[in-house]
Amino acid sequence: MAEKQPSKNFLLRLDRASMEALERWAADEFRSVNGQLQWIVADALRRAGRAPGVRSDECTGPDGSHGASDGDEACGTGAAV
């Protein structure tokens, strides 16, 4: 089994409408709000080519757009949203 990395805690302030939308989204995905935020951050990092272990040039297409190819899981372009 993979060793669990320690997490870092921080405070996040959201306006009421954003928090309510986040709670609905998390419930729709059967996740906690914390789990939903972790998923959103991980997905954004993958899409930007900034996820740990993914070089940004791997996620840049020939025209400079993000996403090297259709269905490229490492760059976040193949995952269903």
pTM: 0.61
The conformation of residue 78, written as its DSSP 8-state character, comes to: S
- Radius of gyration of the chain measured on its C-alpha atoms: 15
Question: In residues, how long is the chain?
Answer: 81
Q: What is the pLDDT of residues 17-72, one digit of tens each?
A: 999 999 999 999 999 999 999 999 999 999 999 998 866 555 655 555 555 444 44
